[in-house]
Structure 1
Amino acid sequence: MPPEGLIALRHSSFSADSIYPRPLDAYGWSAELDDHFRSVTDAPTVPGRVIRVDRGRCDVVIADGDSGVTVVHADTGPVADPDPMRLPCTGDWAAVSVGAAGTFVQALLPRRTAMVRSSASQRSEGQVLAANVDTIAVVVSLDTEPDLGRIERFLALAWESGAQPLMILTKSDLAEDADAVRETVEQAAPGVDVLIVSATSGEGMDILAAVLTGTSVLVGQSGAGKSTIANALLGRSAMEVQQTRSDGKGRHTTTTRELMPLPGGGVLIDTPGIRGVGMYDASEGLQQVFSEIEELAEDCRFRDCEHVAEPGCAVIEAIEDGMLQQRRLDSYRKLVRENQWMASRSDARLRQERLKALKTQGKEGMANMIAKRG
């Protein structure tokens, strides 16, 4: 389609009273996004959803006439930002300009939810894994012993995002006692539904398809079965699948986060396998994951109780009475410490950046003053 045709979509695909792009219904557009789109830019743009990001460019799905959609490859230069959390991410809604000079993401709409982890950067930065998500499905394979600590990490980030967490236990056809594993995982995931599925036998796949409405994202380690589950839900081989290594460790199959429409409605984001699941300002998420410890702590004698050896500690009493697992408390302490450390690092970085900005402004003001005197 020529550029002038795409620009015309700003008018042809919308009613007189709304800019609601009906063809984007399947990708999650709602009337609530109208005001956001109106306010982000004055440039002639069309709304679209980012379905893939790769090296300063991204694929964006936009309306194509009154009933269809098309995917454009857009440059993200206009929204470049030194803060990686402000860069376009799979799931973002964007204002896109299309013209003879090229296709550009001119602005990002405010995110409704965002799953964020600490990045590998030395600057204590956050990395957005997926934006505007309704359900975050943590995928764990039943062919190996579940890493409960890692599950708790994933769930803390999921709760913190504002989305609804979901646990998916895959490869049930390879498990000796899937129900026993589910009971163990449920203890590490209070308030979260835990589903047992197998893409091979079809067990639980109908329930999973019914649960994944709106925008859903699959997260987990490599080899957990995310791509296999995605292909089963999509009804086609959209994602490459590889066998798990002989040592039980997964192989990376998905290399980029990609958003795809589901046959039954809604959209699905498959993600690469995640090895590092660092905390990033996830205090509320941790409170959700360890809700039983938070409730017990309300009855501790001291408000600043660290649940180690303080007298009148309700958490320690619960462990002695067999009502709370020592493993849960150890994991809670570890993740809280990590989260506090990352928060302090982030605060220090922000202070440094503000100080640098003030110094720069001071130098510019002094230079202007000297120029005027001269």
Structure 2
Amino acid sequence: MTSDLNTPNLILLGWSQFFNGQLDLEEFETLTPVRLSEVRRRSIVVLTPDLERQEIALTGDHVATDMAVGDFALTDGERLIRVLDRKTVISRKAAGVSAQAQLIAANIDTLFITTSCNLDFNEARLERYLAIAIEAEATPVIVITKADKPEDMPGEVYADRAKALYDGAEVLLINAKSPDDIARLERYCGMGQTIALVGSSGVGKSTIARGLTGKDIEVGDIREDDAKGRHTTTSRSMHRMHAGGWLIDTPGMRELALHDASEGIATLFEDITDLATQCKFSDCQHQTEPGCAVRRAVENGELDPERLERWRKLMEEDARNSETIAEARERGRKFSKMVKTTMKTKKARRGE
């Protein structure tokens, strides 16, 4: 192999036994592992085991849409040979009518889900990001900013509301401009660790990123397709943090729609998942069916009806966005047929 797999720099990049086990003997001896730092339309920028940046043109069957910042890959020094399987991946449904997934970031260890102590705080939005993190098998951390100037209620109340959503996520209440508070995040940012930030505009993602890296980084809120479907340039890249780890900036993740996240939703709403197994019918929709354990829990005050409604909306969103292209076309045909039938009925009633 052209590089020792146990070199400190390769481990610093995030290399682990998970990736080591994917190489055969010939690849060990002849190829070099790299990590994708940027994905461009016709090329990628990688970080080598020497932590040097190298641009590699994409040729042959390699296309940018099959790759994500954070991917590990093998090169022969000049050409990309193959991308390794991902430990974690965050993706979203591509814009437009396509049912394809658009890769956002790969091999993330921790997802910082950011909100703030004001009207931006929204349980439904936090639950969407939590489901995405759980599905991706990344560690979710809810970071609530503006702790120094909370609106409407004390910051601790916001923190308690966040903690009630999922006991598997740590909740940190911070002032993003405070070096001491930024230091509290750094235990997730050490050597070999990779993080990403998601959340609404104005909650302090860029301030957090600056505190962790010392750089001005635009994190999120950049649209990739305008109202007419035209593509606008959006760049994702990986940045070294003071604590030794890596931050992947994530433009376009402001509204990250769920898809293929049923397991994440089931884990996040474990109380509802468990109740559903007690329903009389296995295909119970928890609407008007007799013997519904979920509705009974709501009626008995054991389950918050608002939480049930948020679960229902996420399940519907995930099902809608996870459908195949064929299913999407079939749904469109059924809708078109329904519209035509309705119009025909209306005309018949008017005697036309």
Which of 290, 301, 313 aligns to 1:311? It is 290
Which of 260, 267, 270 aligns to 2:239? It is 260
Q: How big is each residue's C-alpha offset from its partner over 1:169-228, in whole Å with a ceiling of 9 and x where there is no partner?
A: 122223142111122222333422111111213453232111345221112223222121
Give the aligned partner of residue 161 of structure 1: 136
Give the aligned partner of residue 229 of structure 1: 208
* Partner Cα separation in structure 2 for residue 241 and residue 53 of structure 1: 16
Residue aligned with 1:158, SS: helix
Give the aligned partner of residue 210 of structure 1: 187
Give the aligned partner of residue 41 of structure 2: 55
* Partner Cα separation in structure 2 for residue 349 and residue 311 of structure 1: 32
The answer to whether residue 113 in structure 2 is matched with residue 134 in structure 1 is: no
Give the aligned residue type for 1:23.
N
Which of 231, 244, 257 aligns to 1:278? It is 257
**Structure 1: 5+ residue stretches without partners:** 1-9, 243-253, 352-374
Give the aligned partner of residue 251 of structure 1: none
Q: How big is each residue's C-alpha offset from its partner over 1:234-281, in whole Å with a ceiling of 9 and x where there is no partner?
A: 2x1242589xxxxxxxxxxx9532222222232222212524322211
Structure 1 residue 310 displacement after superposition:
2.3
Which of 255, 268, 272 aligns to 1:289? It is 268
Give the aligned partner of residue 77 of structure 1: 59
Give the aligned partner of residue 333 of structure 1: 312
1:145-160 aligned at under 5 Å gives the runs 145-160=120-135
* Partner Cα separation in structure 2 for residue 333 and residue 241 of structure 1: 30
Structure 1 residue 39 displacement after superposition:
7.0
Structure 1 residue 40 displacement after superposition:
9.3
Give the aligned partner of residue 345 of structure 1: 324
Give the aligned partner of residue 97 of structure 2: 122
* Partner Cα separation in structure 1 for residue 189 and residue 275 of structure 2: 33
Q: Would you say the 8 A contact 2:39–2:235 is kept in 1?
A: yes
Structure 1 residue 312 displacement after superposition:
2.6
TM-score after normalising by structure 1: 0.75
Q: Would you say the 8 A contact 2:219–2:249 is kept in 1?
A: no
Give the aligned partner of residue 184 of structure 1: 161
* Partner Cα separation in structure 2 for residue 237 and residue 217 of structure 1: 15
Residue aligned with 1:111, SS: coil
Q: Would you say the 8 A contact 1:20–1:31 is kept in 2?
A: no
User: How many pairs are equivalent?
Assistant: 314
Indicate the RMSD between aligned Cα atoms, in angstroms. 2.9
Give the aligned residue type for 1:28.
G
The answer to whether residue 12 in structure 2 is matched with residue 30 in structure 1 is: no
Give the aligned partner of residue 172 of structure 1: 147
What is the percentage of aligned positions where both structures have the same residue?
Answer: 32
Structure 1 residue 286 displacement after superposition:
0.7
Structure 1 residue 28 displacement after superposition:
0.8
* Partner Cα separation in structure 1 for residue 253 and residue 219 of structure 2: 16
Q: Would you say the 8 A contact 2:93–2:99 is kept in 1?
A: yes
* Partner Cα separation in structure 2 for residue 35 and residue 298 of structure 1: 38
Give the aligned partner of residue 198 of structure 1: 175
Which of 83, 94, 102 aligns to 2:73? It is 94
* Partner Cα separation in structure 2 for residue 329 and residue 152 of structure 1: 12
Give the aligned residue type for 2:20.
D
Structure 1 residue 149 displacement after superposition:
1.6
Q: How big is each residue's C-alpha offset from its partner over 1:35-87, in whole Å with a ceiling of 9 and x where there is no partner?
A: 424479699542110112222222110023xxxx21111222345349x3xx1
* Partner Cα separation in structure 2 for residue 113 and residue 198 of structure 1: 29
Give the aligned partner of residue 342 of structure 2: none
Which of 86, 91, 107 aligns to 1:111? It is 86
Q: Would you say the 8 A contact 1:141–1:171 is kept in 2?
A: yes
Q: Would you say the 8 A contact 2:197–2:219 is kept in 1?
A: no
TM-score after normalising by structure 2: 0.80
Q: 1:347 to 1:279 in 2, by over 3 A?
A: farther
Structure 1 residue 93 displacement after superposition:
0.3
* Partner Cα separation in structure 2 for residue 307 and residue 139 of structure 1: 32
Give the aligned residue type for 2:53.
V
* Partner Cα separation in structure 2 for residue 112 and residue 105 of structure 1: 20
Q: 1:198 to 1:139 in 2, by over 3 A?
A: same
Structure 1 residue 166 displacement after superposition:
1.5
